[in-house]
Each structure stands twice: as structure tokens, then as C-alpha cells.
Amino acid sequence: MEWQKIKGVIVSTITAFTAEGELDEKALRENYVYYLNRGAHGLGVLGTTSEDHLLRQDERRRIVEIARSEAKGRAFVVAGSGMIGTRETVEMTKIVEDAGADVALILAPFYQRPTEEGVIKHFKTVSDAVDIPMMVYNMPPITSNVTPQMLERLCKEARNVKALKDSSRDLHELSDTIRLVGDKMSVCTGEDDLFMPSLLLGARGGYLAGANIAIDIELGIYNAIREGNLEEARKLHFKLVTLTEAYSGLGFQTNLKEAVRMLGSPAGEGDRSPLLPRASDERRDALKKALKQAGLL
């Protein structure tokens, strides 16, 4: 897949579980079809929103297969494959590649946080071992920070590094990244409330959790910026900020699933510990209020 095609609204999808705690494949398919019908450019699976590190290896493969079967050329599929170790990341990346992903989302080294040279070596080793385009997932402070200068090196030294999901929440660093490598890789934000300003700086899209509940708003912002309609983009941006504040925080996946249910879409009846199956009453009230303010409920 050419890096220029990695753009637009990529939905960072939730993973639905049955009451018994198993994958709810029916719910997964229903949600994927909904996002596609609304116009999503990409389906993002096995990321933070998807509770990827609470999934077994066979479940990860199955989720990618389901996403691929529903996308059917209508959208590209990005699948998370970043693990703590380089060897394990290579193995997982080969699995998602074989299952049909178009792009592998690879979290920068975490927990065992190496030096800059260790980070570069990690991505180069994975790149040399696979053929799938790679999206670097930069999420400090839980990962080693992949700086703009490091990304510039990776564009030269790692043939399959083609994109970035930036969750640094640092617009200065994002701006520097776009300046240095925006003509060599697809720079995307991973932050809903920074989607509009990131696009204005030159980002090509967003890998967005909020698109589970506000895909029309996200697509509206993307299209308004492309059309030069800044006033419309600003109006939609402020709606999105209110929603983001309502579901963000610890256990945000649970909060997001509550909002999905409120909108009538399936989010599963079960959970994967340590995440809880239901949000607090206080959080539910905040979600309902935000959804109403955004005109979604």
C-alpha cells in the first residue's frame, strides 16, 4: 500500500465481548459495517481502544480477518502488532500481515524503554522482517518518544516505515515532524480533540477513538478542512472536544462502549479484566449530556 493512501478518518475500533467474555463476532461485524457505510477511510483494530493486550493471539488474528472481510476494498485495515520485545513484534506483525491487514500499527518500545539507537534498531529489525507497511505509534509517556529526527532517520533506514500515529499531544513536535517527513510518510494524529489543528498543520488524517460514536463529526471536520471551510470545521471541532472530555480518562474503553450502547450500537455484554463492563452512574450522566450537546442523542 502506498503511503499516500494512508489518510482520512481511521476508526480506532472497540472490541465487543459476549457475556462469557469471548469475542462477539456479530457485534464486531455490525460495527465495522456501520463505520464503512458512514464513509470511514480505514478500520483500525488491535490498538489501545481495541484492548489489544487483553486479547489472545488467535483472537487478534480473527479480528483482523473479520475486519478484512468486511472492508472488501472499501477501506484499508490497520492492525496493531507492537509488543514489548522486537522478536515478539516481528512475530505479531507477520500474523496480522498474513491475516490481511494493509498496515501494521507498531507501538514504540514500552515498559523496557531503550535508548534512541535501541528504538531505531527495533523498527529497522521489524521492517527488514516483513513486507507490510508500518505505522509507528508514538505514545509518550508510556513509550519511548520517537522524535521528529528519529522519524527522519527511519524514513531513510527502515524501508517499510510509511506512517505515524502521533499521540504525543505535542503540536510543536507534530509540526516539526510534518516539516521534516511530511513528504515521505503519512503523519496522522491519534487525538480526537487535536484532529482539526493537526489537519491544519498538514497531517493527512487521524486514527481516532471518538469515531466509534462521532464518525460523522470526524468526517465532517476532515472534509471541511479539505474544502477550506474553516468555520464549519471549528463548529464541529468544539462538539468533538466536549465528547472527548466525557469519555477520556482511566478505563476510557469502558466509557466509550457505554456511549456506543447509548447510540444503539452493540458494544458487547462482557469485559476483559482489569477493565470493567460498565461505567459509573456519574460517568454515564456525563456521557449522555455530551452526546446530547453534540446532537448525537
Asked whether the beta carbons of 97 and 125 are under 8 A apart, the reply is no
Choose, from 7, 32, 35, 137, the residue flagged as catalytic.
137
Q: Is 207 a catalytic residue?
A: no
Residue 207: which of 2, 4, 57, 9 has the closest Cα? 9
Choose, from 7, 165, 239, 257, the residue flagged as catalytic.
165
Cα 80 from Cα 83, distance rounded (Å): 9
Q: Using CA atoms in the order 28, 50, 126, 10, what is the torsion angle rounded to 10 degrees?
A: 70
Task: Return the DSSP state at 115.
Answer: -
DSSP string of 66-113, one letter each residue: HHHHHHTTSSEEEEE---SSHHHHHHHHHHHHHHT-SEEEEEPPBSS-
Cα 210 from Cα 222, distance rounded (Å): 14
Amino acid of residue 219: L
Cell numbers placing 71? 472492508
Contacts of 88 (CB under 8 A, 6+ apart): none
CA 176 to chain centre: 21
How many Cα atoms occupy the beta-carbon half-sphere of 21 within 13 Å? Answer: 9
Q: Is 288 a catalytic residue?
A: no
CA 11 to chain centre: 6
Asked whether the beta carbons of 36 and 44 are under 8 A apart, the reply is no
Q: Which positions are catalytic?
A: 137, 165
